[in-house]
Amino acid sequence: MIMFNFAFNSFSEAILMESQNGQSHGIYVWSVLLIVFLCIFMTFFFYKNKIKKITKKFK
Amino acid sequence: MKPIRKKRLMSVLLILITSALGSYLIIKALDSNLDFFYTPSELTDQEIPNNKRIKVGGMVLEGSVLREKTKIEFVITDYKGSIEVVFDGVVPDLFKEGSGVVVLGYLNEKTLYAEEVLAKHDENYMPPSIDIGN
Amino acid sequence: MIKKFIHQFASPKTYMFQVNRAYPYIFYFSVIIYSLSVFWGLFLTPEDFVQGNSYRIIYLHVPASFISQSLYLAMAIASAVYLIWKVKLSVYLVRSIAPIGAITTFIALISGSIWGIPTWGTWWVWDARIVSTLILFIMYLGLISLHDSFNNFEKADKFLSILVIVGSVNIPIIKMSVEWWSTLHQPASITLSEKPAIDLVMLYPLFGSIIGFAGIVTCLVILSSKFQIFRREKNKSWVNDYV
Over residues C186-207, the mean pLDDT reads 89
pLDDT of res. B123: 86
Mean pLDDT of C17-24: 94
Query: Does the CB of A5 have a partner CB in chain B at under 8 Å?
Result: no
Alpha-helix runs per DSSP H in chain A:
11-16, 26-58
Q: Given CA atoms B34, B36, B42, B44 in this order, what sign does their dihedral have? A: positive
Is C169–B23 a contact, with Cβ atoms under 8 angstroms apart? Answer: yes
Could you tell me the pLDDT band of residue A1, with boundaries at 50, 70 and 90?
low
Amino acid letter, residue C183: T
Within 22-41 of A, beta carbons closer than 8 Å to B belong to: 23
Inter-CA distances, C76 with A18, C107, C137, C161, C220, Å: 44, 21, 15, 7, 18
Q: Using DSSP, state whether C45 is helix, strand or coil.
A: coil
- Provide the pLDDT for residue B131: 47
Q: Is residue C12 part of a domain?
A: no
Interface of A with C in 1-59 (CB under 8 A): 1-8, 14, 17-21, 23, 25-26, 28-29, 31-33, 35-36, 39-40, 43-44, 47-48, 50-51, 54-55, 57-59
For position C2, what pLDDT does the model report?
Answer: 67
What's at B124, amino acid-wise?
N
The reply to whether B134 falls in a domain is no
How far apart CA B95 and CA A57 sit, in angstroms, is 60
Mean pLDDT of the C208-232 span:
96
**Is C121 close to B91, i.e. CB distance below 8 A?**
yes
Q: Cβ of A51 and C230 within 8 Å?
A: yes
Domain with B19 in it = 3-32
Residues in chain C with CB shorter than 8 Å from the CB of B34 are 128, 180-181
ipTM for this prediction: 0.92
Are residues B24 and B58 located together in one domain of the fold? no
Q: Are residues B14 and B51 in the same domain?
A: no
Mean per-residue pLDDT for C217-239? 92
Rounded (5°) CA angle A34-A36-A42? 95
Write out the DSSP string of B62-111: TT--EEETTEEEEEEE-SS-EEEEEEESPPPTT--TTSEEEEEEEEETTE
* Residue B124 CB-density burial (10 A; 0-12 exposed, 13-18 middle, 19+ buried): middle
Average pLDDT of every residue of chain C: 93
Q: What is the pTM of this model?
A: 0.92
Would you say residue B130 lies in a domain?
no
The H or E element spanning position C106 is: helix C88-119
Q: What are the Cα distances from residue C209, in Å, to A44, C39, C61, C111?
A: 19, 10, 10, 15
Give strand pairing partners of B117: B103
pLDDT of residue C1: 64
Position C198 pLDDT exceeds 80: yes
B90 and B40 both lie in a single domain = yes
The whole-number average pLDDT for the span C108-120 is 95
Gap from C221 CA to chain B (nearest CA, Å): 25
Residue B112: Cβ within 10 Å count: 23
Indicate whether B125 belongs to any domain. no
Q: What is the dihedral sign for C-alpha C66, C68, C69, C74?
A: positive
Q: By C-alpha distance, which of C38, C72, C29, C34 is closest to C58?
A: C38
Residues B17 and B68 in one domain: no
Q: Quick one: pLDDT at residue B134?
A: 38
CA distance to partner chain C, nearest, from residue A38 (Å):
10
Same domain, residue pair B79 and B17: no
Q: What is the pLDDT of residue A26?
A: 93
Give the pLDDT of residue B79.
85
Query: Is B130–C162 a contact, with Cβ atoms under 8 angstroms apart?
Result: no
CB C166 within 8 A of CB B20: no
Whole-angstrom distance, CA of residue C30 vs CA of residue C28: 6
CA atoms within 13 A on the CB side of B108: 7
The DSSP output letter for C42 is: I
Residue B81: inside a domain, yes or no?
A: yes
Average pLDDT over residues C169-188: 92
Taking only the tens place, the pLDDT of each residue in A2-58 is 778 888 888 888 989 988 877 889 999 999 999 999 999 999 999 999 999 998 887
Residues B27 and B71 in one domain: no
Dihedral angle sign, alpha carbons of residues B53, B58, B61, B62: positive
Does the structure show a pLDDT above 50 at C172?
yes
Q: Give the count of domains, chain C.
A: 1
Residue C46 DSSP label: P
Bridge partners, residue B60, by sequence: B76
CB-based contact B114:B95 (threshold 8 Å): no
Cα–Cα dist C157/A8, whole Å: 52
Question: What's the CA gap between C49 and C58, in Å, rounded?
Answer: 14
For residue C148, being part of any structural domain is answered with: yes
pLDDT beneath 70: ranges in chain B = 129-134
Query: In terms of domains, do B19 and B78 share one?
Result: no
Q: Are residues B7 and B45 in the same domain?
A: no
Nearest to B122 by CA among C9, C202, C50: C50
Count of structural domains, chain B = 2
Residue B74: which CATH number? 2.40.50.140
Tell me whether residue C205 is exposed, middle or buried, using C-beta atoms within 10 angstroms of its C-beta: 0 to 12, 13 to 18, 19 or more: buried
- Confidence check: pLDDT of C79 > 80: yes
State pLDDT tens for residues B29-61.
887 788 899 888 888 777 777 777 889 999 999
Structural domain that includes position C224? 22-44+56-242
